[in-house]
Structure 1
Amino acid sequence: MNPDPLLSVEKISYRPTGKTILDSISFKILENEHCVLLGRNGAGKSTLVNLIYGMIWATSGTIRLFQETYGETAIQELRKRIGIVDSSQQDQSLQKKLTVWDVILTGLFHTIGYYRDPNPEEESKAERILTDANLLSKKDQFYTTLSSGEKKKILFLRSLVSEPDLLILDEPCSSFDFSAREDFLEFLKAYHSKRNFTSLYITHRLEEIPEFYTSAVLLKEGKVLTAGPIEESFTQIHLENLYDLKLQVQKINGTWSVIPIRK
């Protein structure tokens, strides 16, 4: 008997003003599964994330999360069980003059600011997650003084401190140079080796996908090209279709890459 998926997206379409942004999207994520959503800029990835997080509503189709159907349950309660890393928005919306400690605690409060003192249990969770990540020494440092890589690590921990049932990583390496990207991916890999979690990783770059991701959804112009095991999804045919280029596909030591075939 197959287990119920943690997340089920069934024939979701989004046409807010008559223009089709997403067209009959379907895929599933099981508990403790790691799935990558791969697509070029403008493919509809961010729209899909907003639908899953309940910020906007689908024109048609069904989303089920934690065996609850959107539209039939309180979306605010489901959001509390989702952790999201979206640094492009979170960096701008978090209150200024917060320390690293404060930022971690906002993840427990489900707020973007620091409005009350934590209780002993909350303090224990914040200290434990910083200790496990070897970042407790940063506890009293102002968040705004961190490097971009350090900020992303803290936002990642902030999203996990409440022990969410689903983690969404929305373009987590978009602003990184090569060294910062590799540092963050090693940090993510190390965390994965210590704890189980379920995640959806959104990106347009094949080479940044952590090696423990085992399934993929390829999104192009609002439609799913393919969805399933990553080895079956990242074929030359599928990726050439996705990028509209002739490509050579490689996987070396767990890292995927594509090389354009130039005339």
Structure 2
Amino acid sequence: MSIEISKISKSFGRAQILNEISLDIESGEMIALLGPSGSGKTTLLRIIAGLEQQNAGQLKFHGQDVSRVHAKDRQVGFVFQHYALFRHMTVFDNVAFGLTALPRRQRPSRESLRSKVMALLDMVQLSHLADRYPSQLSGGQKQRVALARALAVEPQILLLDEPFGALDAQVRTELRRWLRQLHEELKFTSVFVTHDQEEAMEVADRVVLMNHGQIEQVGTPQQVWREPESRFVLEFMGEINKLRGEIKGSQLWVGGKIFPLNITPLHQGNVDVFFRPWDMTLSKQPTASCPLPIQIVEASPHGHFSLLSVQPIGWGDELLTVVWQDNSSIPARGDYYFIGGTGARLYTGDLPLKVLRLAESA
């Protein structure tokens, strides 16, 4: 089922939480609402569910306006971060709850109900725990029960509010892979809220970056990662190194050293220079592309590459992070190198400059 969000706004008192949000979600698509605390992502999810009412704008499911439709009539399943399981009910009864609460004419027979619940528990790999109580389950098992309960009433849309936030790292990784696989099998439309970039990148078909009640960017995980449309997206998505620079003519000055630019930009003066860790390079000797002196503070192996923390010498205070690809000769703590790169993004305030890459000869 498709979702059409058109100019939705929401405020609580004088606080503007959402400001004319518009977004189209295709049927069968899995969308991540990603952003920092206070960005409005959970409020938007609750409006889709019918748990909050927008002040302005329109919400449609498959072309039908549901802005005034009660939550129980929207055919939406909702999974909360803290499971919200009934402690006095068994796993079986928790999953069956939504079915037993249906109007009598829609309620399945006892035999059909049992068959459906056990099929759902099989699907989430918990049929052997049907008679257990929530207190006897691990966090990952509780979240699977919550997902099975949400799916029991065959929702057209599945909404998840930070579903893995209360779990440890290993369980989170396992569950999000499982959720993605489940989505591929069932093809339900799904929207989930997260502040975890890795989670959004791994699970979602598209990522919606939100900040201060507005959408900053919508795109595939690769698009928002490789082609950020704003400074906020660039800084929020993954690790970034920020340097202070100054443009003079067709030259970028950083730490008293020159990086040539492809053309002479209209903007002259101070700029912020951003490098991803893998866009920075090191050299034992100063070169045109690696002119800035640094010292290795720490080297951490990560399989086929290493992450280096480096300290600028005489031109900056903050540590920088560099991806080192050659694990046959990892720099040692205390070693001196020179740093540079050709994949910079230049900003003056929140405005990106037309020139995003340094000259190839740099």
Provide TM-score, normalisation by structure 1.
0.81
Partner of residue 26, structure 1 = 22
Cross-structure match for 2:151? 160
Tell me the amino acid that sits aligned with residue 140 of structure 2.
G
Distance 1:195 1:73, change over 3 A: closer
Preserved CA contact (<8 Å) 1:97 1:144: no
Q: Does 1:41 align with 2:13?
A: no
Q: Deviations over 1:39-98 (max 9, x none)?
A: 1111111111111111221111111123221345455311xx11111033x43xx43221
Distance 1:7 1:169, change over 3 A: same
Q: How far, CA to CA, are the matches of 1:238 and 1:205 in structure 2? A: 19
Q: Tell me the CA shift for residue 249 of structure 1.
A: 8.2
Match of 2:15, SS? coil
Q: 1:196 aligns with which of 154, 169, 187?
A: 187
Alignment of 1:190-229 (within 5 A): 190-209=181-200, 211=202, 213-229=204-220
Instruction: Give me the whole-angstrom Cα distance separating, in 1, the residues matched to 2:146 and 2:152.
Output: 10
Q: Which of the residues 66, 83, 86 maps onto 2:62?
A: 66
CA contact (8 A) 2:126 2:141 kept: no
Residue in structure 2 matched with residue 256 of structure 1 by the alignment = none
- Measured after TM superposition, the shift of residue 187 of structure 1 is 2.3
How far, CA to CA, are the matches of 1:72 and 1:98 in structure 2? 33
Tell me whether 1:135 sits opposite 2:126 in the alignment.
yes
Q: How does 1:1-263 map to 2 (within 5 A)?
A: 6-71=2-67, 73-78=69-74, 81-88=75-82, 90-91=83-84, 94-109=85-100, 119-209=110-200, 211=202, 213-235=204-226, 237-238=228-229, 240-242=231-233, 244=235, 247=240, 248=276, 262-263=319-320
Q: Identity of paired residues, percent?
A: 26
Based on CA coordinates, which of the two structures has the bigger radius of gyration?
2
Counterpart CA distance in 2 for 1:182 and 1:170 is 16
Task: Return the alpha-carbon distance in structure 2 between the equivalents of residues 210 and 159 of structure 1.
Answer: 24
Report the 3-state secondary structure (helix = DSSP H, G, I; strand = E; otherwise coil) of the residue aligned with 2:172.
helix
Distance 1:194 1:75 in 2: 26
- The CA distance in 2 between the partners of 1:185 and 1:109, in whole Å, is 29
Q: Which amino acid aligns with 1:10?
A: S
Residues 217/167 of structure 1: CA separation in 2 closer, same or farther (3 Å cut): same
**How far, CA to CA, are the matches of 2:177 and 2:219 in structure 1?**
25
Task: Quote the offset at 1:107 in angstroms.
Answer: 3.2
Using the alignment, how far apart are the partners of 1:13 and 1:20 within structure 2? 8
The question of whether the paired residues in 1 share the 8 Å contact of 2:176 and 2:203 is answered with no
Does the 8 A contact of 2:19 with 2:214 survive in 1? yes
Q: Which has the higher helix share?
A: 1
Q: Which amino acid aligns with 2:143?
A: K
Structure 2, unmatched stretches of 5+, are: 241-275, 279-307, 310-317, 321-362
Amino acid at match of 2:25: I
State the Cα distance separating 1:117 from its structure 2 match.
10
- Where relative contact order (Cα < 8 A, 6+ residues apart) is larger, the structure is 1
TM value normalised by structure 2: 0.60
8 Å CA contact retained: 2:31, 2:206: yes
Distance 1:17 1:58 in 2: 13
The alignment yields a C-alpha RMSD, in angstroms, of 2.8
Per the alignment, in what secondary structure is the counterpart of residue 153 of structure 1? helix
Higher strand share: 2
Distance 1:120 1:239 in 2: 55
Aligned residue for 1:10, secondary structure, equals strand
